């Protein structure tokens, strides 16, 4: 996903973007860090990265503040009878993410980062 879609898009449209890596164990293996070093050099933050994760930061991960809740609301609207149905609902939920939702999420990221900068990393509640 990163190599095929995200990195080319970021390099074309946001060449100075700082890539934010979460702390999931599969995302901080050496092969991943080498890939990020090669593609973002000193412009990525996360475990083992050149930029440490901001301390006491508000939730600045779009997957956490937007996507997982959106998917969960669709997937678990009614009880899930089988694994196949669960997979189908997840795919359907992801396919229902619109470009307007992504634009709104981008604006929300900018707002959250502005709050983080203004408070110098202090704990804040963002709803």
Q: Where are the domains of the chain?
A: 1-52, 58-119
- Taking only Cα atoms into account, the Rg of the chain, rounded to an integer number of angstroms, comes to 17
List, for residues 27-82, the tens digit of each pLDDT value.
878 898 899 999 888 888 888 888 887 665 657 778 888 999 999 999 999 999 99
| The pLDDT value given to residue 89 | 97
| Higher pLDDT, residue 90 or 18 | 90
Question: To the nearest whole number, what is the mean pLDDT of the chain?
Answer: 85
Contact yes or no for 65/50 (Cβ under 8 A): no
């Amino acid at each position: 996903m990163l190599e095929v879609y995200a990195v080319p898009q970021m390099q074309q449209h946001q060449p100075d973007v700082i890539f934010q890596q979460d702390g999931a164990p599969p995302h901080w293996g050496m092969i991943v860090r080498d890939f990020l070093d090669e593609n973002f050099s000193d412009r990525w933050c996360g475990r083992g990265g050149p930029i440490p994760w901001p301390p006491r930061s508000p939730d600045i991960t779009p997957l956490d503040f937007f996507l997982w809740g959106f998917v969960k609301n669709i997937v678990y609207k009614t009880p899930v009878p089988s694994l196949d149905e669960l997979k189908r609902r997840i795919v359907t939920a992801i396919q229902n993410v619109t470009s307007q939702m992504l634009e709104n999420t981008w604006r929300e990221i900018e707002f959250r980062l502005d709050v983080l900068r203004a408070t110098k990393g202090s704990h804040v509640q963002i709803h």
